[in-house]
Amino acid sequence: MAAAALNSLVKPLAGAVLPDHAGSPGSAFGNSAQAGPATEMTSALETYQKLRFGCSFHFGMPNFTGDDYDVGRVPASTYNPTHLDVRQWIKTAHGLGAKYAVLVAKYMSGFCLWPAKNYDYTVAQSGNKTDVVRAFVDACNEFGLKSGFYYCILDPHNEGTFEKFSWDSLISDRYFDIIKMHITELHTLYPNAFYQLFDITWKLKPAQRAELYRLVKQHNPDCMIVCNQGFKQSRVNQGRMCEAASWPCDVINGEDTLPPLEGHDPHIKYEGREYYMPFETWLPTGPLYPPMPWMHTWFWHPWYKTQPAEVIAKSYKICMESNANLLLNLTPDDTGRLPEEQVATMQKVADMIRG
């Protein structure tokens, strides 16, 4: 990775004062209320809450290796969808009634679904060189859905931890420079993204999380920044609080977690200060993942079977009645299309939630 290339893409954040610990409003964001998470409803947050329903799409190297936790050891050419049809994905989401869509642009394998510059593990080096991010954004525009991106911080490919990766160890400065380069590209090559989801953010130092937050806002001030709290943390707090390792963010994310029975109260206190933070339930629609049977798979496998339409429709209803957004995950197969079984189930879900 050329240092000059990194420096040309990642502009310094002028005036940024970064914190020594997670989320101190004054130290992380100075005196500007606009620079950090909102303390009251804003027009961008209101827009997000009114949309209520979106779909995410897990597609990448795991669809070809069969490992939900693929470490990026296989060559880029392993990725080779033969009938890639991103438009079909978004058409299905639109038919469900989704108002926004989120693409896994880079998962933990390190493989990028766009031809990232000065980086050699992307679709450009693969068996199918389609810029999936561009196709995704174009399809969202065609069907009237707002588009967003997912980016995983955990990345054995870039961390050099093929043999035994760590969920918790801090990342290197070199890899953080790559992250900033990627995020800058995503928000300049594909501008006006509605939503940015970061995963496994506890591997970042607090100052790095604050820097990423400001980097996205620098390019896209109204973008909703979401940090996945993780499965265990989500199940424990159900959005009643924001985990320190997920701060700063605009929306509290609950992985495979429904909102609390009393419904979500967006007035969240963090370090003694009140913020306005909506909650989003992020649900996989696949079966349990055999190596980790307490969790559902996010990726397609030959044995993949979508959960019953009745279960998905009930989750939708709970979220709508509990002041929470729902981000429902779909996953194309290794040809690059949503399987007919998955599409048929989503059609049943659409009928149920409209009935």
DSSP-assigned beta bridge partners for residue 93: none
If we measure between CA atoms, which residue out of 341, 197, 155 comes closest to residue 282?
Answer: 197
**3-state SS class at 22:** coil
| 240 Cβ contact partners less than 8 Å away, ≥ 6 residues apart | 260, 265, 268
Cα(78)–Cα(65) distance, integer angstroms? 8
pLDDT value, residue 35 = 75
What is the secondary structure of 206-250 as a DSSP string? HHHHHHHHHHHHHH-TTPEEEEE--HHHHHHHTTSS--GGG-S-S
In the chain, the amino acid numbered 197 is L
Query: Are the CB atoms for 342 and 134 separated by under 8 Å?
Result: no
Task: Please answer whether residues 181 and 9 qualify as being in contact, where contact means their C-beta atoms are separated by less than 8 angstroms.
Answer: yes
> Lowest-pLDDT range, 2-6, 222-226, 272-276, 318-322?
2-6
Q: Report pLDDT for 301.
A: 98
User: Do the domain assignments include residue 234?
Assistant: yes
Residue 287 near residue 304 (C-beta atoms within 8 A): yes
Percent of the chain scored above 90 by pLDDT?
89
Q: Is 30 part of a structural domain of the chain? A: no
Average pLDDT over residues 158-172: 94
Q: What CA–CA distance (Å, rounded) separates 239 from 280?
A: 8
Per mean pLDDT, which range of 105-114, 158-167, 277-286 is the poorest?
A: 158-167
In this structure, is residue 26 part of a structural domain?
no
CA separation for the pair 97, 173 (Å, rounded): 42
Task: Classify residue 107: in a domain, yes or no.
Answer: yes
| 3-state SS record for 43-91 | HHHHHHHHHCEEEEECCCCHHHHCCCCCCCCCCHHHCCCCCCCHHHHHH
What letter represents residue 121's amino acid?
Y
Is residue 231 pLDDT above 50, yes or no?
yes
250 domain-assigned: yes
Instruction: Give the pLDDT confidence of 145-157 residue by residue, as tens digits.
Output: 999 999 999 999 9
Distance in angstroms (rounded) separating the CA atoms of residues 133 and 189: 10
Q: For 71-90, how does the pLDDT look when each residue is reduced to its tens digit (9 = 90+)? A: 999 999 999 999 999 999 99
Q: What local confidence, expressed as pLDDT, does residue 307 receive?
A: 98
Give the pLDDT confidence score for residue 235 in this predicted structure.
Answer: 94
The two structure tokens encoding residue 239: 């959005």
Assess whether pLDDT exceeds 90 at residue 184. yes
Residue 350 within any structural domain of the chain: yes
Q: Record the tokens describing residue 163, joined without a space.
A: 């043999």
Phi first, then psi, for residue 205 (nearest 5°) are -70, 155
Query: From CA 244, how far away is CA 106, in angstroms rounded?
Result: 24
Q: Which of 40, 53, 36, 41 is nearest to 324 (CA)?
A: 53
Q: How many CB atoms lie within 10 A of CB 268?
A: 19
Give the confidence band of 8 by pLDDT, cuts at 50, 70, 90.
Answer: very low
Three-point CA angle 232, 234, 236, nearest 5°: 70
Residue type, 228: N
- Report the domain count for the chain: 1
Structure confidence at residue 21 (pLDDT) = 32
Residue 34 lies in a domain: no
CATH of the domain at 96: 3.20.20.80
Calculated CA dihedral for residues 10, 217, 228, 125, nearest 10 degrees: -40
Q: Quote the mean pLDDT of the chain.
A: 91
* Amino acid at the residue 227: C
What's the confidence (pLDDT) of residue 12? Answer: 35
Whole-prediction pTM: 0.91
| Helix, strand, or coil (residue 149) | strand
Task: Indicate the SS3 state at residue 295.
Answer: strand
Q: What are phi and psi of 305, to 5 degrees?
A: -135, 125
184/24: higher pLDDT: 184
**Which domain does 297 fall in, by range?**
53-354
**Mean pLDDT throughout 269-291?**
97
Look at residue 75 and tell me if it is in a domain. Answer: yes
The pLDDT score that the predictor gives to residue 7 is 37
């561009």: which residue's tokens? 134
